[in-house]
């Protein structure tokens, strides 16, 4: 049977990719951010998951406004990274796990989440930056698990509610636990925390709200479902709505989790960065 080892969240700021390429790990600006990852590396090294579910939000590479799925599940043999407009070199493809993708799709649609399945889906920084952070050298890292992308819409309102995001994660958990083969799974929730790129309020960061979310997502995620979507925009910033991905991840972990490590740092680029590793009860 498949087993969920734990969940990891991280911000997925595009400039992290170039900071990694330039090895700025000890640079004074970057060090407080990169210091959040060694404990995660040690945990992944110890547990060596076979499969990573990468829950992220597409930023206008895989999807355009012509057809915008609220929840999309990748079912490709490989996840291709492409130029998203800035001319950065694309990473090599990440091996997929389409047979597991289809199991999840079957289970989650039976649970009445009417998702969009994608046999081709180009993945952007929201997907690849966390992979690079967790598995240095990704996808070439020898411990790189096979990957399934799940994207939620935060580009265009109406976005899903926090309650729905948490429920999606719980349905994902049910799907994974019913997979008949032995698989060790880790679930990522990427994006956030508070930030806003657009408008006269660009540069908005809200430490108090971020810390509230970090505190409650560990042991009382249902409390966070009381936050409305417009309240989330107001308090987390227009792009801080990416916290939805953290809620989806959290739903997949079940009730009993242990916090292994967390990091919170302001700023990286325009963003309050956050990282959290939660281990599931065995």
Partner 1 sequence: MDSPAFDHHTHIPGTTVFDGTQAMKGYGLNKMCYSFNKAENREAFVAGEEGYMDKYGLTEAQKQACRDRNVLAMIEEGGNIYYLAKFAGIFKLSVQDVGAQQTGVTTEEFKQKLLDAGKD
Q: For the CB of residue 153, give the shortest distance to partner 1 in the complex, in Å.
A: 11
> Is residue 210 a contact point for partner 1 (CB under 8 A)?
no
Angle between helices 98-110 and 162-177 (to 10 degrees): 120
Tell me the two tokens of residue 121: 């889906």
Q: For the CB of residue 60, give the shortest distance to partner 1 in the complex, in Å.
A: 4
Is residue 125 annotated as a catalytic residue, yes or no? Answer: yes
Cross-strand bridge partners of residue 150: 55, 73
Is residue 219 annotated as a catalytic residue, yes or no? Answer: no
> Is residue 65 a contact point for partner 1 (CB under 8 A)?
yes
Pick one of 1, 85, 256, 281: the residue that binds partner 1 (CB under 8 A). 85
| Phi then psi dihedrals of residue 106, to 5 deg | -60, -50
Contact present, 46 and 184 (Cβ < 8 Å): no
> Is residue 199 a contact point for partner 1 (CB under 8 A)?
yes
- Each residue 121-160 as x (binds partner 1 by CB under 8 A) or -, in order, gives ----------------------------------xxxx--
Contact present, 271 and 195 (Cβ < 8 Å): yes
> Is residue 12 a contact point for partner 1 (CB under 8 A)?
no
> Is residue 64 a contact point for partner 1 (CB under 8 A)?
yes
- Taking the mean position of all CA atoms in its chain, how far away is CA 112? 22
Q: For the CB of residue 260, give the shortest distance to partner 1 in the complex, in Å.
A: 24
Q: Which stretch binds partner 1 (CB under 8 A): 89-97, 168-176, 259-267, 274-282?
A: 259-267
> Is residue 24 a contact point for partner 1 (CB under 8 A)?
no
Distances from the Cα of 245 to the Cα of 110, 137, 167, angstroms: 22, 24, 12
By CB under 8 A, the count of residues binding partner 1 is 38
Residue 190: which of 235, 234, 247, 118 has the closest Cα?
A: 247
> Is residue 197 a contact point for partner 1 (CB under 8 A)?
yes
| Phi then psi dihedrals of residue 243, to 5 deg | -60, -20
Pick 115 or 205: Cβ nearer partner 1: 205
> Is residue 109 a contact point for partner 1 (CB under 8 A)?
no
- 3-state secondary structure at position 8: strand
Residue with tokens 């083969």: 181
- 3-state secondary structure at position 24: coil
| Phi then psi dihedrals of residue 32, to 5 deg | -60, -25
> Is residue 67 a contact point for partner 1 (CB under 8 A)?
no
Catalytic residue among 12, 103, 195, 265: 195
> Is residue 265 a contact point for partner 1 (CB under 8 A)?
yes
Pick 15 or 117: Cβ nearer partner 1: 15
Q: For the CB of residue 122, give the shortest distance to partner 1 in the complex, in Å.
A: 9
Which residues neighbour 208 within 8 Å (Cβ) at sequence distance 6 or greater? none
> What angle is formed at CA 204 by the lines to CA 202 and CA 208, rounded to 5 degrees?
170
Pick one of 41, 50, 234, 262: the residue that binds partner 1 (CB under 8 A). 234
Tell me the two tokens of residue 140: 């070439």
Question: Which residues are near partner 1 by CB under 8 A?
Answer: 59-61, 64-66, 82-87, 155-158, 196-205, 207, 230, 233-234, 238-239, 265-267, 269-270, 272
């Amino acid at each position: 049977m498949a087993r969920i080892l734990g969940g990891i969240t991280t911000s997925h700021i595009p400039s992290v990719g170039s900071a990694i390429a330039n090895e700025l790990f000890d640079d004074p600006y970057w060090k407080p951010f990169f210091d959040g990852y060694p404990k995660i590396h040690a945990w992944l090294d110890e547990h060596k998951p076979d499969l990573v579910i990468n829950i992220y939000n597409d930023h206008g590479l895989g999807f355009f406004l012509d057809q915008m799925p609220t929840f999309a599940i990748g079912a490709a043999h490989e996840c291709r990274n492409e130029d998203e407009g800035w001319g950065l070199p694309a990473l090599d493809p990440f091996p997929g796990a389409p047979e597991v993708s289809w199991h999840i799709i079957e289970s989650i649609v039976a649970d009445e989440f009417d998702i969009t399945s994608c046999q081709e889906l180009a993945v952007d920084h929201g997907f690849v930056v966390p992979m690079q952070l967790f598995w240095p050298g990704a996808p070439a890292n020898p411990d790189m698990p096979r990957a399934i992308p799940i994207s939620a819409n935060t580009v265009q309102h109406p976005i899903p509610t926090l309650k729905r995001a948490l429920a999606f994660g719980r349905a994902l958990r049910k799907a994974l636990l019913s997979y008949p083969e032995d698989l060790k799974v880790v679930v990522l929730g990427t994006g956030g925390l508070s930030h806003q790129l657009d408008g006269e309020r660009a540069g908005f960061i809200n430490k108090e709200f971020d810390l509230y979310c970090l505190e409650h997502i560990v042991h009382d995620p249902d409390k966070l479902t009381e936050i409305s979507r417009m309240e989330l925009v107001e308090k987390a910033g227009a792009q801080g709505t990416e916290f939805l991905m953290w809620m989806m991840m959290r739903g997949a972990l079940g009730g009993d989790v242990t916090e292994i490590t967390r990091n919170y740092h302001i700023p990286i680029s325009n963003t309050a960065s956050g990282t959290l590793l939660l281990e599931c009860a065995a």
